[in-house]
Structure 1
Amino acid sequence: MKKSLKLITLATTLYVSLLSLAQAKLEEIDRVAAIVNSGVVLESEVQDLVNNIKLQAQKDNQALPSDRVLRTQVVDKLINDSLMTQLGERMGVKVSDAQLDETLTNMARESGMTLEQMQVSINDSGANYETYRESVRTELIAGEVRRASVRRRIYISPQEVDNLIEAMKEQSANSEEYRLGHILIEFPAKATQEDMNNAKVRADKTIELLNKGSDFAKIAITASSDANALNGGDMGWKAITELPSLFSEVIEGKDKGEIIGPIRTGLGYSIIKILDIRGRQITEIEEVDSRHILIKPSIILSEAKAEQTLIDIREKIVSGEATFGEMAKEHSEGPTGVKGGELGWAEPSNYDPAFSEALAKLQIGEVSQPFRSSFGWHIAELTGRRNIDATTQMNTNRAYQMIFNRKFGIESARWLKETRDEAYIEIYDVEE
């Protein structure tokens, strides 16, 4: 009995000793590394991030600074993350599990993996997937908080955008080349006013013929006094800086196929056609013209009934019993119903994905079968499709974005410094 008691006592003492050691170790790991306003950064968070960085650096064969410098950088980042998270809570910024999973799925796809494969890869590398997952959530929240806070500090004037567009034009002009056709209606030697007037009449008549579709080269060979007349007036490819200033000024910003003139010079009246352009960045976008009828399911109108109603409406339209506009005005629940369902010209990407996909399958004049979007059940008719030159708008957007990005970087650093200066931050040294 005494021997049994001794064994129990020894076992209990050993268990307590081990428990004390484990608790001491846990306290060592989970002690507070920094206080950030009402939040804390734990030593376990610091160690997790340090270890993850070391694993990634080892994988990429990348050198790292000393452990102390690395720890300082890690603590600094975690302090910023804590500040962003607290600001996000006050601003109501949230990232749902569904949004987070979608982001992670996209990240996995960019790496050529499925989400499940990425999870296995992270765990196999020695990191913890759940920790990684939450770090991505933190980054998304921090990004949204930063954008929302910094965006309102940035002002971009129209003049700034215009100035940058002009600078971009000057740069692109150096790479642009034009192939011009030239017809010269020449003044006779010692021309009188009557000679000049007659030349103007001939030039105007030439412009009229060209605008009606007459062949430029044929008229140049017949009527032009220019040295290139026998070549159909073709001046060949020239950079804009190689052209006479009078020509370069009038063709700037013009498009291929445009006819310009008559332009009076010392020799007579010049007529120019832009035969071709190369080196110019042109952005075209597709627009569609369409109309639709929308029926929204409700408590009293089931999904199946909404779909069947549109099937019946489509049959009336296709058979000629009713027009699309009439049916839209009578049945459509969308705001365009009163206009016969007309949506006007728009980029397909502006629409709900299901709506955009349905339009992409249609020929002009064709009415779709009923389909479901996030708004309800639709039938749609494609009434037109066109490509438009969106270069000017794209250049404006590009110039604005370039200025915004430049200012955002500067303002973001200022805002973060101000946020940290206003916060209560206390960092505990690792040796304390």
Structure 2
Amino acid sequence: MNHLRNVTGRAARGAAVAAALLAAGQPLTGQAQELRGPIGGRAETAPPQAAPAQPAGPRAMSESVAAIVNDEIISTYDLGQRMRLLIATSGVQPTEQTLPQFQREALISLVDERLQLQELRRQEREQKIDLVASDEEVNQELAEMAQQNNMRAEQFVAALRGQGIGSETLHQQIRAQISWQRWIRGRYGSRLRIGEDQISATLQRLQAAASKPQYQVSEVFIDANRVGGMQTAVQGAAQLVQQMQQGAPFPAVARQFSASATAAAGGDAGWISPGEMPPEVDAALEQLRPGQLSQPIPVRDGVYIVYLRDKRSGGAATLVNLKQAAVPLAAGATAGDEAAAKVKLEAIRAAATGCGDLETVAGRTQGVVAGDLGEAELADLAPAFRQAAEGLQVGQISEPIRTSAGLHLLAVCGKRGAGEEAIDRDQIENRLYGQQLSMIARRYMRDLRNSATIETR
């Protein structure tokens, strides 16, 4: 069975976000704000030091120390460059309110990448193997990003430079991401087994939930432990909601700010049923209409933002797929006109074998129109159509039905309870595999942060 590959949270999303580089973002201007709140590990906070104002040119930034991670320095130049990259790829506009969030997220990302590369180099020394991606692998990944934008790598780098972002900034991010993703997948993915009992239990739960409403959801999850506490997570989520309401693309925001395993897919969580997400999220989804964005939803370990893309009824509703052949008739048509129309439709009904050839047969008769009515809930149909559809089996064609618009033949091409789509066991396995590998990766990073000495300035 094929397992999901984009399953390591932030380690998986570099290639996806880079494709958005040309669609949004402006060079960072103004003065970076002081980072507020811890970022994990044994943080030793030095006196605040604001980064200097940044002109458009990437190397005009004066450098000082923004943070030290196990004696390895992150400079204010590194921090400013990463902020520019976040702005360019998230679609969130830099304002006085959002700059601290950009700075916090940029510094957290840089700290995580330093910890990841330090761990990989330690493993390289112990195991005598190469784990950190080579320049050739980084350049290949960059070339693929450029191709996604219908550009050559040189043009892509020039586009970065035009937004004040040095190419080395993206190189460093790519190197850490693909190296860490490969390490997590290689170390844990090959040993991770999803048992048939897990698949069966999930399948039974999904089948039991088929009678409940189902929601097509995109999500952003702000991990409170990662950003320095629940208050910071709530404030950051509120700023992201405001930016998305003003036009920032949800997928780009999710890729850059979400700690969920769905971040690499732009936050796409697919179709979910009540019980698959925290109760607080379920309660919020019940109040949303398709196309609506939620306010921040605090849960036990962080804050969710959800976007309800679509909603469908549970299995208690019956869905029917219909086709029709009809003769248009005014409400005041004569008895003779109605009789002539009925003769035409009865002939079609006798000649057609079902949905497969109804339109073809009807097309041979002058004055008859035919077409596919698609799928609809039985309860939403006009009374005459609903009565006919209730009594027909799949493949059967009704007797002529009179409505104010004309005389109709109705064919039932499909009938099912809402939520009865086939549930693929491979998809269930892939989803469980991705969730578990993502959880392992998050715990690994938590342990690295807790054991590290991290000083922010």
When normalised by structure 2's length, the TM-score is 0.36
The higher radius of gyration belongs to 1
Instruction: Name which structure has the greater RCO, CA cutoff 8 Å, separation 6+.
Output: 2
> Which structure dedicates a bigger proportion of its chain to helix?
1
